[in-house]
Each structure stands twice: as C-alpha cells, then as structure tokens.
C-alpha cells in the first residue's frame, strides 16, 4: 500500500519522526503522519500551515507499507468524542494514540481526517519492530503549489 507525505525538500530523503505532540500522539511518541491520497496530504498541509510560501521547496514522499488490512488498527468516527475535530479533543485523541504507540499493537493506525472526515490519514509507529522491514520510501516526487491556491489566500 502507498501512502503520502509532503515535507520540506531537505527532509525528504529519510523517514524521520520528530516526537513532537500532535492530534494523535503525545510528546515523545515517534510517529509519522501520512495521507491516504496525494490530495488529502495537500489539504492537510494547507490547513496546518498558517500560510503557503511558494518559495519553500517541498517534496511528495510516496511511502510504501507492506501491511495487510488486518495489521492496521482503524479508528472510526463513531468511536470518537464529539469534539474530536477541535483542539479540545486532543487530550483524548493523544491518549488513544499513545496507548496504540506504547503497546506496539500495529505498525499503522488509520484515523479519519479532521479536515475531511470521510477520508483517512495513517499514523506510522517508527518504534514498531516491523518498521524497518515493512516501511520504505518508494518515490520522492517534486511538489509544486498550484498558483490558484496561492492567489486566493
């Protein structure tokens, strides 16, 4: 399965996790966020940046993950608190993600996108015993900002 991550060009050659807290992980949880599609990854990047700077160079990482569907833990919208899409839901979501990460239950956690809840993001556990053998960058593609996105911001 291929999943997608957009990063600054200088970070595109390695699958690295910063350990910085985010929606689905606590500080010190070394996970990588990726989108199910290139377009969702683009939208997630736009949402998480306060502005688009076309002068910065980005790359699209195509990440190949060798995992069967039964090896992916899926979290559905129905199992989430009502406020899961807001910052007020972070405490519960971070605990859920931290429990998954700490127990090494699976290599991937599939979660609904807060931007488009009908689509999915994937959280990769870089400390999972199968990470090195099952996760690899299969391609690094040039990424460009469509000028129509920038003109309207």
pLDDT of residue 138: 98
Under DSSP, the state recorded for 49 is: S
For the chain, which residues make up each domain, given as ranges? 2-151
Query: What does the pLDDT profile of the chain (153 residues) look like in tens digits?
Result: 999 999 999 999 999 999 999 999 999 999 999 999 999 999 998 888 766 777 789 999 999 999 888 789 999 999 999 999 999 999 999 999 999 999 998 999 999 999 999 999 999 999 999 999 999 999 999 998 877 776 655
Extract the tokens encoding 120.
């999915």
CA proximity to 140, closest of 36, 40, 62? 62
pTM of the model: 0.93
């Amino acid at each position: 399965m291929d999943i997608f991550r957009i990063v600054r060009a200088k970070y595109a050659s390695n699958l690295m996790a910063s350990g910085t807290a985010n929606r689905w992980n606590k500080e010190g949880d070394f996970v990588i966020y990726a989108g199910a599609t290139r377009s969702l990854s683009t939208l997630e990047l736009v949402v998480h940046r306060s502005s688009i700077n076309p002068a910065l160079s980005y790359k699209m990482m195509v990440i190949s993950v060798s995992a069967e569907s039964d090896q992916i833990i899926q979290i559905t919208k129905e199992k989430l608190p009502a406020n899961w899409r807001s910052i007020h839901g972070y405490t519960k979501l971070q605990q859920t993600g931290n429990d998954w990460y700490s127990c090494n239950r699976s290599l991937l956690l599939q979660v609904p996108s807060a931007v488009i809840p009908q689509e999915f993001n994937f959280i990769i556990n870089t400390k999972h015993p199968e990470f090195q053998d099952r996760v690899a960058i299969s391609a690094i593609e040039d990424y460009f900002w469509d000028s129509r996105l920038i003109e309207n911001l």
